[in-house]
Structures are given as C-alpha cells and as structure tokens.
Amino acid sequence: MIDLDNLQSKCERTVDFAAGQLRNLVEAHPDHFPMYTQNGKWMHSGEAWTNWCEGFLGGQLWLVYQATGDEYFREKAEHYSRLLEHRKTDLNVHDLGFLFFSTWKRWYDITGEEDKNAVVVEAGQTLAKRFKEKGEYLRSFVSDESLFIDIMMNVPIIFYAAQETDDEELWETAYRHCLTTRRYLVRGDGSTSHEGIFDLETGEFLRQTTHQGWRDDSSWARGLGWSLYGFGTVYGLTGDARFLKTSQDNAWFYMENTPDHGVPPNDWMEAQPQNPHESSAAAIAASGLIQLSQLVGDPTLGKQYNDYALRIVDTLTEPEFVAFGDEDWEGVLKQGMYHERLGLGVNESVMWGDYFFLEAVCKVLGVE
C-alpha cells in the first residue's frame, strides 16, 4: 500500500524542485527551448529530429504557477507562450496540440480571454490541414503516407477547434483520424505500433512500422502512453465508447507488462534492454491513467487505474528518478528516453517527461 501522506509530501517537494530547475533554466538560457539533456545538461543546439517540444517548457511554467501562485512563473509562462504564437500556422509538424494545449489553452483556461482561445482554435484548424482523404488520417511530419500514434495526443485540438466554431466538417476530420488510428495502430492485446504506412494512390493500409521501438511488431512504451492518454481524452470529447475501450485496452497492456514499480523500458519486447527505464513513458501513462480513472463509470476499475497511477508517481518521485541534490543535473526527471535508435537523449531528462511528470504530480496534489 502507498502511504498517501508521504506521497503528498514527495509531490510537494517535487513541485518545489521543479520550480527551482525551471527558474535556473529560463534565467541561464532565456528564450531557448531545449528538448533533452546530455549528461544532465540541457542541449541548446545539435540534432533534434523534429521541433515538437517547445510547448512543454511553457506548460511546466503554467503548472508551477497553478501549484504555487507565484507570479514569477505566470509572467514567464505568458512570455514563453507568446514566443510560440507564430507556430499556430505551422504546417510542418503534427504536434500543434502539444504546442498549444500545454500553453495557450492553459492561459485561456486561467483568464477566459478570447484572444487566447482564438490562437488555440487557429492551431487546431491548421493541424486539420494534414488530413489525407485517401486513408482518412492526419499525416505525420515524416511523409504523406505516414500515420503516427503520437498524433492521438494532438487530435484533441482539432475537436476543440470544431466545438468552438461549430464546424462539423472539422469535427468529422478528427473523428475519422481516430477511427483509422484505432483500427490500424492498436492491436488486439492493447499494444500499439508507432507508425502505419498507407498507399497514397488507393488509401489502403500497408503495414505497421516503427522509428523508436525495437521492431515493427513490438510495442514502444511512449507510443502506448500517447495512445492511452489520447484515446481517453477523445472519449471525453466524443462520448464514443470505442475510444474508451481502446484507452482501457492500452492501460491493461501497460499494467500487465510493466514491472511492479510501474516504469517500463523503451519497448516491452526488447530482449535485455540496455536501458531498463523509460521514465517519460511512465509519466505520460500516470497522467493518462488518472484521467482514465475519472472517465470510467465503474468505481472498482477507476480505483485500479488511479492506484496504479499513484504507484508510478510514488516511484518517479524517489531520488532514483528525480534529480534531487544533483547540482550538475539541469532537468527534473532522470532516466528518460528521446530516440534510442539515433542515440538522442538516452537515459536523460526530456522536456515532455518533465512536463507530464509535473502534470501527474499536480493531479495528485489536486491543483490540475
């Protein structure tokens, strides 16, 4: 059994620590958006593969402001959100949900100012332009024939834009993408594929592939976390029970295949992984499971999901994973993974890991 009073104290300590790390980052490197650390130091140049993470810094600043009420963090959160506004028309990435739900949507939720909401809506409308009629999916940043599981975390911004503008066609675009992803990237056992490839001429689905997993037929842990959280969010928006079932299937796969501490490797099917922990996948799953626990109608199931999420957070708030006392480490959450195959951010802090970890911690504290 988890000692809830102790967990509360650990989460409060984590927020304080994250606040200090964020203050150090924005003062030492103003207006920079690092993605991952190297030997614990945030990288401010070098290979990034794609620019999808810029919202997570501002998002953390908003979370710390919500948790502490410290106006310093609100001022910085507004500043780092403004730096992203031009990305609302960015047609080059599939990650506008990551960029704007973590920043401008939080800003709007706090202030109710319509100009903030307009930025979020425009970003959602922009993302919808990636939709491929043949195949019925939002194309990934890689190529026209590519569908990523990650996009399930971004498609809610299209649903949101559709709601705000009463745009039925926009809503249908998001809906069709979710059905396609569910059909082709989520397997019968609840595991997920990173990528699906389609025939551009016919729209026919061809095969499952991966960029960051062990094999094409294995299950990359962070991708499953994106699916679990994303399909839960989409169920909350649509009420379609198929999406709830998918999120639950993902949850059961995660819980049944992960060690008791709740932190998976980069891929569950990798034989003897060199890096046994992918903390960012665990952070995403924890936040997604807390959400799922509130969506299911069955209180017994809800308690199971919430208890497992608390187990993950209890593990991640230990010194093994949080850089408490390590003056040379600039991130918050250690043992994360960006891109193992490319050797980027391996066993390091990663910006989305810190963001979703802090989000889960704030949910435990009741301030998110």
Write out the binding residues for substrate.
95, 150, 210, 222, 226
CA pair distance 208, 216, nearest whole angstrom: 6
The residues, any chain, with a CB within 8 Å of residue 231's CB and separated by 6 or more, are: 152, 178, 182, 243, 244, 246, 247, 250
Catalytic residue check, 16: no
- For residues 101 and 107, what is the distance between their CA atoms, to the nearest angstrom? 9
Q: How far apart are the first and last CA of the chain?
A: 24
Pairwise CA distance, residues 246 & 182, whole Å = 7
Active-site residue, selected from the candidate residues 3, 109, 144, 150: 150
Q: Given CA atoms 141, 145, 150, 156 in this order, what sign does their dihedral have?
A: positive
Residue from 259, 262, 252 nearest 360 by CA = 262
For 279-340, the DSSP string reads: HHHHHHHHHHHHHHHHH-S-HHHHHHHHHHHHHHHHHHTSTTTB-TT-TT--SSB-SEEEET
Is 95 tagged catalytic? yes
Nearest CA to 142 out of 50, 4, 18, 242 is that of 50
Catalytic one among 16, 95, 109, 298?
95
d(CA 96, CA 104): 11
- Which distant-in-sequence residues (6+ apart) come within 8 Å of 3 by Cβ? none
| Catalytic residue positions, numbered | 95, 150
